[in-house]
Homo-oligomer: A and B are copies of this chain.
């Protein structure tokens, strides 16, 4: 895959696209970004967008008005691509293992101020040994080491009150590395029912991170960074005292999971998959479409916890939701659209060749199945093609 680049194209109508194709409504993208930015301003905290959702330089440029400010990445490929496009302040928010140290060094040597995570004394020791030249102000002086804190029991990190928080910091200090601070992500926010639960989860995330950093500071570590975030907690936090930055990703596109949580309306979802009807099964009440799991992903979103939207909610070609029609099943390149009741009498009656749009359960997963966004202008025509990248 190659470096992303803006491709200007003559305006096209949707009917000129081959399907399946990933559509991005630029007006909705902008309003989603504006909403998050406005909320961060109200909370008086910096935003470090997580570019793993879009993996697209153009989206990131829109997000911070071209400033190429701080970003979060989930892969070193993202770090490479954004560094090549001019970004210099990047946090890699996945625990790092020794087989990536050479790659970290290349990024540092390219001038990136690079944040990484550790959550064990062993991990801190391996990092400290590999980057011992930092203490001498060497080429890798741009390395920032954050201690990952677990504030929801869902994934990685140390409990805020764990003795290991101080042990990790001490291990780094012995190697001449200053602890940059703490970082946490409350992924449990994706399972919260209702505003009250979301607000409480945002406070749990904040309080855990702040408690951990206060222990570090009491032990003499400067630890200036307190990084928290997810789209739900960012938008539902009532206040964020002690937090220095918020990380969030999916807010740029939104998706059916965010809508199920009440974080956005389904009408706010900027991303969809354009698909064509390729067959009809009146006996079963099915439309066959050319968007299977390869185009939609296998992500089942909130099924089991919230409303089951199958593999995505169906809209007409103009993006108007057909509320009770979902993709009930998919193979690699085939999807099956039906009424959610399964009643054949309620099947959509559309001829082969008709266009539909499918709203994604999980925007990060659906976008990852595509290599570019067909960007829609205010008239609903395709005004640009923005490349995205994948890989590691």
Of the stretches A26-34, A193-201, A232-240, A276-284, the one at the interface is: A276-284
A332 within 8 A of B: yes
Known contacts A336-B155, A352-B123; is A94 also within 8 Å of B278 by CB? yes
This chain's copy number in the assembly: 2
- Write out the residue numbers on chain B whose beta carbons fall within 8 Å of the beta carbon of A21: 392
Instruction: Find A332's partner among B19, B74, B156, B284 (CB 8 Å cutoff).
Output: B74
Instruction: Find A279's partner among B95, B298, B353 (CB 8 Å cutoff).
Output: B95
Q: Tell me, rounded to whole Å, the shortest Cβ–Cβ distance linking A209 to chain B.
A: 17
A97 within 8 A of B: yes
Whether A1 and B371, one on each chain, are in contact in the complex, defined by CB atoms closer than 8 angstroms, is: yes
Nearest to A185 among chain B residues (CB) is: B331
A98 within 8 A of B: yes
A76 within 8 A of B: yes
Known contacts A1-B371, A98-B353, A353-B97; is A280 also within 8 Å of B18 by CB? no
A interface residue count range (under 10 / 10 to 19 / 20 to 34 / 35 or more): 35 or more
Q: Tell me, rounded to whole Å, the shortest Cβ–Cβ distance linking A312 to chain B.
A: 13
**Bound: A157/B96 CA distance, A:** 49
Q: Mark A80-96, 1 if CB is under 8 A from B, else 0.
A: 00000000000000111
- Write out the residue numbers on chain B whose beta carbons fall within 8 Å of the beta carbon of A353: 97-99, 126
- Write out the residue numbers on chain B whose beta carbons fall within 8 Å of the beta carbon of A17: 99
A20 within 8 A of B: yes
Q: Mark A201-227, 1 if CB is under 8 A from B, else 0.
A: 000000000000000000000000000
Nearest to A364 among chain B residues (CB) is: B332
Of the stretches A139-147, A173-181, A289-297, A377-385, the one at the interface is: A289-297
Whether A370 and B352, one on each chain, are in contact in the complex, defined by CB atoms closer than 8 angstroms, is: no
Whether A187 and B97, one on each chain, are in contact in the complex, defined by CB atoms closer than 8 angstroms, is: no
A333 within 8 A of B: yes
**Bound: A364/B281 CA distance, A:** 26
**Bound: A20/B370 CA distance, A:** 19
Whether A19 and B97, one on each chain, are in contact in the complex, defined by CB atoms closer than 8 angstroms, is: yes
- Write out the residue numbers on chain B whose beta carbons fall within 8 Å of the beta carbon of A95: 278-279, 288, 290, 334, 352
Instruction: Find A94's partner among B119, B153, B290, B390 (CB 8 Å cutoff).
Output: B290
Nearest to A148 among chain B residues (CB) is: B279
- Write out the residue numbers on chain B whose beta carbons fall within 8 Å of the beta carbon of A332: 52, 74, 364-365
Nearest to A275 among chain B residues (CB) is: B97
**Bound: A94/B300 CA distance, A:** 24
Q: Tell me, rounded to whole Å, the shortest Cβ–Cβ distance linking A73 to chain B.
A: 10
**Bound: A227/B299 CA distance, A:** 32
Chain A 302-361 residues near chain B, CB threshold 8 A? 331-334, 336, 351-353, 355
A375 within 8 A of B: no
- Write out the residue numbers on chain B whose beta carbons fall within 8 Å of the beta carbon of A265: none
Whether B120 and A280, one on each chain, are in contact in the complex, defined by CB atoms closer than 8 angstroms, is: yes
- Write out the residue numbers on chain B whose beta carbons fall within 8 Å of the beta carbon of A364: 332
Enumerate chain A interface residues (CB-CB to B < 8 A): 1-2, 15-21, 52, 74-76, 94-100, 103, 119-120, 122-123, 126, 148, 153, 155-157, 187, 276-281, 284, 288, 290, 293-295, 297-300, 331-334, 336, 351-353, 355, 364-365, 368-371, 390-392
* A-B complex: 5 closest residue pairs judged by Cβ atoms: A95-B278, A298-B298, A97-B276, A156-B279, A74-B333
Q: A119-B279, A298-B365 are in contact. List 17 more A-B contacts (CB 8 A).
A: A18-B100, A19-B100, A20-B392, A52-B333, A74-B332, A95-B352, A96-B278, A98-B353, A123-B279, A155-B331, A155-B334, A155-B336, A156-B278, A156-B288, A156-B334, A293-B365, A294-B390
